[in-house]
Amino acid sequence: MNAGMVVRITSGVLGAALVLTFLALPQPAPLILFGAIWLLGVYELGRLEGAPLLRIALVLLLHLAILYVVNLVLHYMGELVLDYLRFFMLGLYALAAIIQLLLGDVVLHRYLAGRSRVLNFPGHSFFFIAVPLWMLWVEASLVPLSVVVVLGMAWSADTGAIAAGKLFGRWHLTPRISPGKTLEGLVGGWLAMTAFILLAKLFISQLQDYPFHGLYLWSLHPALVAMVAVALIAACLTVVGFLGDITFSAIKRSAAVKDFGGALPGHGGILDRIDALLFITPWYFLSLVLFSDLLFL
């Protein structure tokens, strides 16, 4: 194992431990965690575009103003029309997920068309960074375990993709945007995420003292249904994470840089580490609302 890989693994383990520690603490620790990631992520994206600090600060203030209004709406609905809160959040998750795909599609098409700038800094920083991190913070205030799960899904998919890509990678999916992405890596990420979901579901079912019927050997048919459903959900989330990865790669390539920054030794910038997670987050919570019985809660 070379020195670069040792630095990458050490940095990843320490970073994961720090994140989990903040999530284990009561508020405002999760707010501090996601707030710091938001500040650094928007800064990295803004500097990549060449935005002056004043413009970056104004964009951050715009994010705060919009999310403050959303928080007010949630507070109002939570107190007065609680029955509709679930549907409001469902719509919010769906809207964020669709806009992320649409903006990502714009980025990829502009890059492939050879345009030098593919970034709409205020819009992309809001839907690519602020909204997913805000969702994670809201969920950390309500059900911290679900945030740990979505982080584990993203980390497991990333680890599985790297391992499978290095061992078996031959079919390159996006040689111009991200040469290291292979079909074998994508499949490896999907298998790793599926395994993580099933193990997490089993663990949480025991933690919450109710049985995970999907794995009882004497109930084979429900087991197959549960496993197939989880595999399909994991496949969708893996593809979404892959789209997030290549979207951020296209942004970097258009600016002719390798990494967003150097905040994380061995990984690059903070956005290099969480690019897939930022895309997975709204889709995961959307899936959690729609298919809670097949997932965890």
Q: Is the pLDDT of residue 127 over 90?
A: yes
Pairing between strand 172-174 and 178-182? antiparallel
Number of domains in the chain: 1
DSSP letters of 150-209? HHHHHHHHHHHHHHHHHHH--SEEETTTEEEEEHHHHHHHHHHHHHHHHHHHHHHHHHTT
**Structure confidence by residue, pLDDT tens digits, 19-47:** 989 998 888 999 999 999 999 999 999 99
Structural domain that includes position 133 = 3-290
**Structure confidence by residue, pLDDT tens digits, 201-259:** 777 766 655 544 444 444 445 566 677 788 888 999 999 999 999 999 999 988 888 88
- Burial label for 252, CB within 10 Å (0-12, 13-18, 19+), is buried
Whether 170 maps to a domain, the answer reads yes
Whether 74 maps to a domain, the answer reads yes
**Structure confidence by residue, pLDDT tens digits, 162-197:** 999 888 888 998 888 888 899 999 999 999 999 998
Whether 295 maps to a domain, the answer reads no
Whether 165 maps to a domain, the answer reads yes
Phi, psi for 181 (deg, rounded to 5):
-80, 125
Output the CA–CA distances (angstroms, integers) from residue 170 to 181, 185, 267, in the order listed: 10, 9, 23
Rounded CA-CA distance 176/253 in Å is 9
- Is the distance from CB of 205 to CB of 211 less than 8 angstroms? yes
Whether 296 maps to a domain, the answer reads no
Residue identified by tokens 């109710």 is 210
Whether 192 maps to a domain, the answer reads yes
Q: Is the pLDDT of residue 76 over 90?
A: no
Whether 58 maps to a domain, the answer reads yes
Can you give 113-156 as a three-state secondary structure string? CCCCCCCCHHHHHHHHHHHHHHHHHHHHHHCHHHHHHHHHHHHH
Whether 226 maps to a domain, the answer reads yes
**Structure confidence by residue, pLDDT tens digits, 106-121:** 999 888 888 767 778 9
Q: Which residues lie across from 268 on neighbouring strands?
A: 264
| CB-based burial, 181-214: b 16+ in 10 Å, e otherwise | bbebbbbbbbbbbbebbbebbeebbeeeeeebeb
Rounded CA-CA distance 62/174 in Å is 34
Q: What angle do CA 203, 208, 210 make, to 5 degrees?
A: 90
Q: Is the pLDDT of residue 297 over 60?
A: no
**What is the overall mean pLDDT for the chain?**
84
